[in-house]
Structure 1
């Protein structure tokens, strides 16, 4: 900081020397006196100011560059010094150019111009550096975040494109509401001027009528604006939720295993609503405040440009003060939170270890420790409160000073006939709202970019591509159902370091039943999941009739390869809707035929409303055996070519199991893959595959494997009998 002050001081001294030297040259040549006596000398004087400013800028920039090079601090404060030099040198000619263009010649003394310009440049550069720091160096990450926020914000805006008529109507009414509201203070001042004169009742009546029209128009337009915005927001929320849900259901199973259900529901319910309401409402407030601010500035300039410039001096001061306050207040708030957490930890430790505290007679020390933590918190809160009090005091003193100055100069302007009393009242009414509007603009702009954080989470899911491709197009009219697992290696996304299947090879022939047996965790259910394309193998491939599974069209594949799990999931709705799930035009006769094959028709007919009976949430109004048979019917109604059965008979009684086995046995042209722990189901399989740790240990019929007395022989007595008895106990219960 000392080095920075040294550079600034050196630049100011150098600039004073340059000004003094240029003044000597001007007096020696007599240019200044000549210019002032010649008609139209303002142009030559202005040109001279621009030339002087350019020369000063070149000399000061060169000197500052040399000083920074010596101090080796160019990367830290160089941009701030360069901005100050540029503004300091050129603010005077820019001001003079605008003043002469708009208001004619009101000359200022050279030294006054230099002092005012220097102070304004320093204040402007400090304001710029504090609120809008240079994007180079360490703030690159912040700049990237802001750029990302802007991109997300524009994507949210583009999502409103289908509702452009509603948005255009809302913006039209927004503009009308702001314009009507903006003219009310103006006519309030005119009414005051009219009341000072006795014989102007017609003007008074006209002003009152116009004020009433503006008030009614503002209220009506504001109501229409709010209604149209809410309609657009509602349509936006429905559209985004639908697209997000569509993107979610297209994701692979591994995505749902890695992502918490709470995160998904939060994106669907909370974040979509937040991104719609926050962004749209912030845009509403931003546009309304921006239009109102620009309109008020225009009217204030028309009333008195001098008072407007005086009032605008408050803006950089309050902005700088707000930034300094936010920095210190947020830091103290974090320290307060940490201190409160420390106090709670001290109390929690004492309570949880109360036996130890009492046994060592440490109650006074624990009380003292807790009191110290509380005092730390109290001191931090006091400091935070002091910072806020000082901030409020300084902000109000600044506002009070500006108001006093405005009233003082307003009285002088009224005395000299430059303003009327009504104009001053109108100006004061505008000024009281302008500061609040500017603070709202600063807050809303930042808050609007922060709100797109929720949009970023939603777009993250919308843009996500499933890791398991569903772009296949193959849809043969006839499918044999010949399945080959060729040297598969696979690990679950949640445990990539552990291979569930390794160099796994298996063949499922059409018209045959293949049973997979083995201890839990051996990879049996993984084979079923891979056949359904829930996951993508890391190595190897699965062939269906000689073609890789990924080549088949997604809907076609899942109509030809169906699975029934150990714990079937039913959805709220009727029995008929669950059996015909995914088949909207399915007839009742087809549903009943599938139910008969699954031995479910009889118990369905005994329900209160038959096939129209509500199964409840997740089928909780039905028994386990009933849900299992409805799930089997749901699979059979699609007339698949490959049927995957994962412990489907575990909740069925002996009679129901026999009926299902007969129904499946009638499907002689189907490929059946069965995972079961019941020996009765295993014995009937055409081939039995023993799997352990993702590898095939034995393969053959029941009789062949029993004669080998290998792994299958050992599993027969140990696993099948116990699980069969356990399943029978479940059925009785």
Structure 2
């Protein structure tokens, strides 16, 4: 395919050389004989159309090709527009070349071979620049820099339209910056031609007004840009955090909370700030560079070509030397680190050094490391001198070359002295803009490259769906575990549950007991849909849990753990946490009374508006459990899970919870699953499940299990009830 592409491109070049070069100028000289400028544009646009059609055919032959082939469309455009653009510049600059029949031939790229070659000389760099910018901004499956920037700018939403205004202000500001070199050249001509002081003062005022207007426009554009990008920062943080919250529970087991927090806060901030700063500089200096390049072409085509041809010498060689200097700097730092390590080892082990009388040996080793660093410092200094010398000499040679070529053009009358002065000022600003762009580009790529970390979260698809669509109006609360097996994502080879089958009935209390590590808390996690079973299924009213709407499910299934987490908010907000409709204070007080939290909350100066502190650290364990129980009860769930949730309560509150669970039970009451080591709660349960090694080995009521000789449940009861020795 690559060979065919090269062959097709070669055929297009032959068509351009053999057919279009002699044919198009002849045709349009007959069709448009009296308007040279129009004739040049007709030839150029026709050439662009024919080559563009050929390029599309080439790309059609090599479907799926990439790389250099993508430069062919902009190359066709540049080849078609190079000569018409030059003609327009000459006309606007009043050089009169189009009005002079003897000089008009230079504009017809078919009439002279050097003009034909010049069109390729001008088109190839333009197409290469277009390709480079296209690779930067075009979305890519490999996540190029442009793809990342576009995605970050996508966080702006409708405010992204402000960037169009910023671009317009940028162009106007850059045009205004051209006033000083432009009028400096004109003033030079007037001084040499002894023009009147009135014209001189009028143009000084005009130059000042344009310069001030440029500054105001730049300030306005910067203000709008920074305000707009500031909104991108906040929205990016929000989107990344929202993407993290969508992940399955196993994701948080595999990724430490510190790492996740760092990406959501620090990485997102650094990426947004770096991209916004570098993008701002890239936009402004690219706009200035293009405006300066246009005015340079306006002033002198030949001087502009000299500048463009010498740019590689001006920047590429110093950049290569700069990389050598950077590598030497890294080696110096490594050598310094090694010498510091020798000193740290010796000083931290001075008793050992002294006991072996090796002070001089350590000093000698330290001197050796310093000698190595001294040699590297010399190389670094030479590389720095070479870099600076090369940059200064190349810059000086460019200035000398411009002045020499410009002086020859002034002598021949091709340009005026003022135009030469303006061009030199343009050229100085242009090289500075190019230097800044070359320094910004790698930083831009580096900053955008680091955004891959946050886009990993934005693009990550949860391994299990967070929410279904099922939300029935009425729910009984019948829970069925059908042959459920489970292994945690971070330990997929360790089966925590194996073939678990049981049923929780509405209005009934089921106690799940067993030794530590038997999988009791895992059962509670599966029932809350925090994880998906690796085998079997968990049904609620006959439907798998994953099919229920996320918010609906967790209104119907509520859980309280042994060490519940509260948020650094008020008691009222913690109890109403997660509810879409804010409950009344009467409802909050009612559930707080049931859980035993009302007594200590009402005794506080601010009552339910008191802050509980970070993670509830201002409360005791029993108080946190009471608040968490109230948080579960206010949802009026159809399934209530108590995972050792009363272990820290005092005797009075434990008795209150027992009455809550076992008194006035009926079909309308929720199904309750108690995971506990407290016999007083378990023995009253309607049904007891004994879990061992991830499987249910015994089940029945307290009396039934106690009547079984040698049962695991009976052994546990006797062990817990036996007096300690």
- 2:662 maps to what in 1? 665
The match for 1:562 among 535, 558, 578 is: 558
Alignment of 1:141-540 (within 5 A): 148-540=144-536
Q: Secondary structure at the match of 1:313?
A: helix
Rounded Cα–Cα distance in structure 1 between residues aligned with 2:649 and 2:87: 97
- 2:639 maps to what in 1? 642
Rounded Cα–Cα distance in structure 2 between residues aligned with 1:301 and 1:287: 21
| CA contact 1:647–1:675 (8 Å) conserved in 2 | yes
Question: CA-to-partner distance for each residue in 1:7-42, whole Å, 9 max, x for gaps?
Answer: xxxxxxxxxxxxxxxxxxxxxxxxxxxxxxxxxxxx
Q: From the superposition, tell whether residues 149 and 196 of structure 1 become closer, same or farther in structure 2 (CA, over 3 Å).
A: closer
- 2:712 maps to what in 1? 711
Rounded Cα–Cα distance in structure 2 between residues aligned with 1:493 and 1:426: 69
Report deviation, 1:197: 4.7
| CA contact 2:321–2:386 (8 Å) conserved in 1 | no
| CA contact 1:677–1:720 (8 Å) conserved in 2 | no
Report deviation, 1:667: 6.2
Q: From the superposition, tell whether residues 98 and 702 of structure 1 become closer, same or farther in structure 2 (CA, over 3 Å).
A: closer
Question: CA-to-partner distance for each residue in 1:494-541, whole Å, 9 max, x for gaps?
Answer: 222212112222322222222222222211111111111111111111
Report deviation, 1:199: 4.6
| CA contact 1:254–1:492 (8 Å) conserved in 2 | yes
Report deviation, 1:352: 4.2
Rounded Cα–Cα distance in structure 2 between residues aligned with 1:442 and 1:480: 68
Report deviation, 1:679: 2.1
Report deviation, 1:361: 2.4
Greater alpha carbon shift after TM alignment, 279-288 vs 638-647: 279-288
Q: Secondary structure at the match of 1:477?
A: coil
Rounded Cα–Cα distance in structure 2 between residues aligned with 1:146 and 1:464: 16
Report deviation, 1:147: 5.5
Report deviation, 1:652: 0.8
The TM-score normalised by the length of structure 2 is: 0.77
| CA contact 2:166–2:225 (8 Å) conserved in 1 | yes
Q: From the superposition, tell whether residues 189 and 96 of structure 1 become closer, same or farther in structure 2 (CA, over 3 Å).
A: closer
The match for 1:615 among 589, 612, 616 is: 612
Q: From the superposition, tell whether residues 168 and 531 of structure 1 become closer, same or farther in structure 2 (CA, over 3 Å).
A: same
Question: CA-to-partner distance for each residue in 1:284-343, whole Å, 9 max, x for gaps?
Answer: 322322221122122223323332222223211133214422442343344334333333
Rounded Cα–Cα distance in structure 1 between residues aligned with 2:637 and 2:578: 14
| CA contact 2:181–2:422 (8 Å) conserved in 1 | yes
The match for 1:594 among 591, 594, 618 is: 591
Report deviation, 1:393: 0.7
Rounded Cα–Cα distance in structure 1 between residues aligned with 2:476 and 2:142: 57
| CA contact 1:468–1:534 (8 Å) conserved in 2 | no
Report deviation, 1:369: 2.1
| CA contact 1:576–1:611 (8 Å) conserved in 2 | yes
Rounded Cα–Cα distance in structure 1 between residues aligned with 2:360 and 2:664: 82
| CA contact 1:350–1:366 (8 Å) conserved in 2 | yes
Alignment of 1:650-661 (within 5 A): 650-661=647-658
Calculate the aligned-residue CA RMSD, in Å.
Answer: 3.4
Question: CA-to-partner distance for each residue in 1:475-498, whole Å, 9 max, x for gaps?
Answer: 222222222222222111222221
Q: From the superposition, tell whether residues 580 and 398 of structure 1 become closer, same or farther in structure 2 (CA, over 3 Å).
A: same
Q: From the superposition, tell whether residues 535 and 420 of structure 1 become closer, same or farther in structure 2 (CA, over 3 Å).
A: same
Q: Secondary structure at the match of 2:226?
A: helix
| CA contact 2:152–2:232 (8 Å) conserved in 1 | no
| CA contact 2:275–2:447 (8 Å) conserved in 1 | yes
Question: CA-to-partner distance for each residue in 1:550-585, whole Å, 9 max, x for gaps?
Answer: 121211111111000111111122211111112242
| CA contact 1:166–1:232 (8 Å) conserved in 2 | yes
Question: CA-to-partner distance for each residue in 1:224-283, whole Å, 9 max, x for gaps?
Answer: 101111111122122222222222212111111212223322232233333333333333
Q: From the superposition, tell whether residues 667 and 623 of structure 1 become closer, same or farther in structure 2 (CA, over 3 Å).
A: farther
| CA contact 2:154–2:160 (8 Å) conserved in 1 | no
Report deviation, 1:96: 12
Greater alpha carbon shift after TM alignment, 647-656 vs 289-298: 289-298
The match for 1:629 among 604, 623, 626 is: 626
Greater alpha carbon shift after TM alignment, 273-282 vs 184-193: 273-282
| CA contact 1:176–1:217 (8 Å) conserved in 2 | no
Listed as ranges, the gaps of 5+ residues in structure 1 are 1-78, 84-93, 107-112, 136-142, 726-733
- 1:31 maps to what in 2? none
| CA contact 1:272–1:454 (8 Å) conserved in 2 | no
Question: CA-to-partner distance for each residue in 1:644-691, whole Å, 9 max, x for gaps?
Answer: 111111211111111122122246222111112222222222222222
Report deviation, 1:98: 11
- 1:681 maps to what in 2? 681
| CA contact 1:346–1:369 (8 Å) conserved in 2 | yes
| CA contact 2:173–2:213 (8 Å) conserved in 1 | yes
Q: From the superposition, tell whether residues 248 and 574 of structure 1 become closer, same or farther in structure 2 (CA, over 3 Å).
A: same
Pairs aligned (count): 611
| CA contact 1:244–1:461 (8 Å) conserved in 2 | yes
Rounded Cα–Cα distance in structure 1 between residues aligned with 2:561 and 2:722: 21
Report deviation, 1:635: 0.3
Q: From the superposition, tell whether residues 402 and 258 of structure 1 become closer, same or farther in structure 2 (CA, over 3 Å).
A: same
Report deviation, 1:593: 1.2
Q: From the superposition, tell whether residues 229 and 587 of structure 1 become closer, same or farther in structure 2 (CA, over 3 Å).
A: same
Listed as ranges, the gaps of 5+ residues in structure 2 are 1-66, 72-80, 91-96, 98-102, 107-112
| CA contact 2:560–2:645 (8 Å) conserved in 1 | yes
| CA contact 1:564–1:648 (8 Å) conserved in 2 | yes
Rounded Cα–Cα distance in structure 2 between residues aligned with 1:199 and 1:476: 91
Question: CA-to-partner distance for each residue in 1:159-201, whole Å, 9 max, x for gaps?
Answer: 3342133212212211111111122211122223334454512
Q: From the superposition, tell whether residues 466 and 592 of structure 1 become closer, same or farther in structure 2 (CA, over 3 Å).
A: same
Rounded Cα–Cα distance in structure 2 between residues aligned with 1:285 and 1:389: 28
Report deviation, 1:100: 11
Rounded Cα–Cα distance in structure 1 between residues aligned with 2:341 and 2:402: 54
Greater alpha carbon shift after TM alignment, 285-294 vs 557-566: 285-294
Question: CA-to-partner distance for each residue in 1:446-495, whole Å, 9 max, x for gaps?
Answer: 33233222332222211222222134222222222222222222111222
Rounded Cα–Cα distance in structure 2 between residues aligned with 1:98 and 1:464: 49
The TM-score normalised by the length of structure 1 is: 0.77
